[in-house]
Amino acid sequence: MKLFTVILGAALAIGSALSAQTFNDRIAVNFPGPVAVNGVTLPAGDATIQVVHNTGTIMLTVRSQSGEHAMVLVSRVDSTENENAAKVILDQKDGSYRLNRVLLPDHTALQILDAQ
């Protein structure tokens, strides 16, 4: 009986972990200059943005080709943009860039929630 309880507990834990990460999207980008993401400055050049949907939350993991990475919490909002592919919106101030939002082809946007 104790073995059955352990197996059942392990199965529940694995099932919870699998349902927590239910959907992933990867977006390839090329940053024109260094980009600040949640306090981390990623270098100019190729990077990937992974959209991770967890139970009730959405996060972005931004990883530069050289290995630096940052994670940031986002909010899904409606977008009036009509894009055929994902698009990254950067804010520029005094020559530096900051990740603002990601537009998706399904008319939604992922707005950054942190106070960078």
Q: Tell me: the pLDDT tens digits for 8-26?
A: 333 333 333 333 333 458 8
- Determine contact, residues 62/43, Cβ cutoff 8 Å: no
Q: What is the DSSP letter of 43?
A: P
Model confidence, pTM:
0.72
pLDDT, tens digit, for every residue of 23-43?
458 899 999 999 999 999 999
Q: What is the mean pLDDT of the chain?
A: 79
* Per-residue model confidence (pLDDT) at position 24: 55
Q: Are strands 96-104 and 35-37 parallel, antiparallel or unpaired?
A: parallel
Pick among 3.10.110, 2.30.29, 2.40.30, 3.40.50: CATH of 23-112: 2.30.29
Dihedral Cα 14, 19, 21, 22, nearest 10 deg: 140
Between 71 and 104, the more confident residue is: 71
Rounded to a whole number of angstroms, the CA Rg of the chain reads: 18
User: What is the distance between the alpha carbons of residues 26 and 88, in angstroms, rounded to a whole number?
Assistant: 12
